[in-house]
Structure 1
Amino acid sequence: MDAFETLELRCADAWPAVSTDKIGDWRLRAAGGFTGRANSALAVGDPGSPTGSALRGVCDFAHAHRIPPVVQVVAGSETERAIAAAGWVPNSGHAAGHVVSVLTGPLGEGADEVPVLASPTGGWWELTVGRPEPTDAERHVLTTGEIGYALADVMGVTAGAVRAAVVDDVLHIARLAVRPGYRRRGLASALMAACGPWAAERGATRTVLQVAVENAGALAFYDRLGFTEHHRYRYWVPGPGACEDRSL
């Protein structure tokens, strides 16, 4: 397994789905529709069967969990070429962007004014998922594992939040958000910095995060923090006739 696939597995461990299964090394994931990563098959490694057969298993799992069949695969890989040859197509309709840049960079050096909490607050949830109480799927995905919840408080208002997860030697950053009225005050940088010492205490030596290639603002921000692209992944969906529901 190459470095791209190994890092994909670290990211997957940091973003656990509610329901999982495997086809060889491929990971099948479902989480009630909350995020593409938690509701797709991660096609890395050897599925232990021909690609067409493995993709039929992906379809069966998706249909059983009432989610659309989707595969996440390293862009430009041999596996991606095999998936395309099996009649699947890029998921260009994915709202968040179907091509994603996986960035790696240094750990932040600390921000005293931003705490990293052991459990999320109502304000953290509201900024992260849009309401003070998450759904069961959101709670599972966002709180399972070695997780820290950084938040920036301004005069009693949760103005910024981010999720930090440590898997092996990797700090996985996700859901960085700053309330519109509080942007351009350095809060996003402070949130990122605060996660560094917290993660280092838990064995992390580097940071990874995932950003849609269409999100130019976010990519520019992370570039300023010293992040570079490690690789990209794409989401694929079945073309016409490639994924019939065999349970019907």
Structure 2
Amino acid sequence: MDRMDATGTLELLCADAWRAVTEEKLGDWRLRAAGGFTGRANSALAVGDPGMPVEEALARVCDFAHAHGIPPVVHAVEGSETEQAVEAAGWVPNTGHAAGHLVSVLLGPLGRGADGVEFLPGPSPDWWELTAGAREPSPAQRHVLTTGEIGYGVAEVTAGAVRAAITGDLLHISRLAVRPEHRRRGLAKALMAASGAWAAERGATQCVLQVAVDNAPALALYEALGFREHHRYRYWVPACEDRSL
């Protein structure tokens, strides 16, 4: 099975920036559950060697998922030996995943700061509304979005917001959002620039992002900022399972 290469290491760093409520190790694999909040936090990250045949590991993924009340999902690097083994075991791409089942992992430079953006000491109700869709988050949302060394960036009194996390020497960006009435004013770029300066002060040297391949506006923004695709990953589910996650 796949050895832990640079792609697997990058996947693990991204996982460290987005911690599930419950995690268990299965060799190099990580089994994750967070009450259904996001695919990343409710899937088995299948990189490296699970320490057993893949079919047996997939059975363990199913047992873990059912024990935590979530559908079994595997997060595997596109084109990897692991993904090929998952497919051979009868699993299928989770095309019903609302946020997109095929995801591009991008690497790019740190921004150098911007006016009009500040980092809060903790998440405000407005920050929660923009990044999680509700001013009062669920316990799972609070855990996933606040665990680790996190910066809660806001632009112009939360016309926009971003979650910036430090993982190793990387800045991990997620939940970048701008209110519809404030779009096309450069606030997304300002949030990215300010996040880069915030992260550089904490030892980061580069930025990583995970974006669904069908999210054309986001991909265009990040390409303009100098980001390039490092690899892709895909969500897989057993053919007979509910794919609603």
Same fold at TM > 0.5:
yes
User: Matched residue pairs, number?
Assistant: 238
Aligned AA for 1:30? A
Instruction: Give the alignment partner of residue 76 of structure 2, picking from 70, 73, 77.
Output: 73
Give SS of 2:158's match. Answer: strand
Residue of structure 1 equivalent to 2:95? 92
Instruction: Give the alignment partner of residue 125 of structure 1, picking from 124, 128, 151.
Output: 128
Structure 1: distance between partners of 2:77 and 2:158: 36
Residue of structure 1 equivalent to 2:119? 116
Percent identity reads 74
**Greater mean alpha carbon deviation, residues 23-32 or residues 115-124:** 115-124
For the structure 1 residues 240 and 131, does the alpha-carbon distance in structure 2 shift closer, same or farther, using more than 3 Å as the test? closer
Structure 2: distance between partners of 1:203 and 1:158: 26
* TM-score normalized with structure 1 length: 0.94
Cα distance per residue 1:50-106 (max 9 Å; x no partner): 000000000000000000000000000000000001110111111111000000000
1:94-243 → structure 2 map (5 Å cutoff): 94-153=97-156, 157-240=157-240
Structure 1: distance between partners of 2:226 and 2:87: 34
Aligned AA for 2:207? T
Aligned AA for 2:193? A
Offset at 1:112?
2.8
Residue of structure 1 equivalent to 2:42? 39
Aligned AA for 1:28? L
Q: Is the 8 A contact 1:107 1:206 kept in 2?
A: yes
Offset at 1:118?
2.6
Offset at 1:158?
1.8
Offset at 1:240?
3.1
Residue of structure 2 equivalent to 1:53? 56
Structure 1: distance between partners of 2:145 and 2:85: 32
Structure 2: distance between partners of 1:182 and 1:219: 19
Structure 2: distance between partners of 1:74 and 1:118: 35
Cα distance per residue 1:137-168 (max 9 Å; x no partner): 00000000000010012xxx521000000011
Structure 2: distance between partners of 1:14 and 1:230: 17
Structure 2: distance between partners of 1:161 and 1:211: 17
The CA RMSD over aligned residues, in Å, is 0.9
Structure 2: distance between partners of 1:44 and 1:118: 34
Q: Is the 8 A contact 1:118 1:147 kept in 2?
A: no
Give SS of 1:96's match. Answer: coil
Aligned AA for 2:203? G
Structure 2 gaps, min length 5: none
Give SS of 2:232's match. Answer: strand
Structure 2: distance between partners of 1:18 and 1:131: 19
Give SS of 2:127's match. Answer: helix
Q: Is the 8 A contact 1:75 1:231 kept in 2?
A: yes
Residue of structure 2 equivalent to 1:246? none
Give SS of 2:98's match. Answer: coil
